[in-house]
Amino acid sequence: MLALLFHGIDIFYDEESIWLLQNLSEKYILKSYIVGTMGITSLFDSRIEGVELIFKRPSKAISELEGFDKVIIVLKARSIETAKAFLGTIGERVSFDGEILGIDINTRSLFEVKPGLSDIKTYLLPLGYKEEYLSGGIDVKEEGDLLVRSVKGCKPGELLLFKGLVVGTVTSKDVKIFVKDKKIQNISGVKIKKHGLEKIKEIDIYSIKIDSTPGFETRDSTLIKKLKGDQILFINHDAYSIYKNLSNISGAVTVGDDTTRISGYILKRFGIPVIGIIDGDKDGVIKGEQFYTGSVLFHVEKDDIEGDKIFSYFFNKNSRIKSDYKLLRVNIENFLGEKILKKIEY
pLDDT tens sequence across 25-41: 999 999 999 999 999 99
pLDDT in tens, 224-271: 999 999 999 999 988 888 999 999 999 999 999 999 999 999 999 999
- Confidence grade of residue 215 (pLDDT, cut at 50, 70, 90): confident
- Whole-number pLDDT of residue 196: 84
How far apart (Å, rounded) are the C-alpha atoms in residues 224 and 44? 8
Question: β-strands 286-287, 216-217: how paired?
Answer: parallel
Instruction: Name the pTM for this structure.
Output: 0.88
- Whole-number pLDDT of residue 331: 98
- Beta sheet of 274-278, edge-to-edge order: 320-322, 231-236, 249-255, 274-278, 296-299, 342-345
Nearest 10 degrees: CA dihedral of 244, 283, 198, 329? -60
- Confidence grade of residue 288 (pLDDT, cut at 50, 70, 90): confident
Which domains, ranges and CATH numbers included, belong to the chain? 2-132 (3.40.50), 139-214 (no CATH), 217-345 (no CATH)
Sequence length of the chain is 346
- Whole-number pLDDT of residue 345: 97
Q: CA–CA distance from 293 to each of 97, 255, 273, 328 (Å)?
A: 49, 19, 6, 16
How far apart (Å, rounded) are the C-alpha atoms in residues 248 and 253? 15
Q: Using the predicted structure, report yes or no on whether residue 138 has a pLDDT greater than 90.
A: no
- Whole-number pLDDT of residue 45: 94
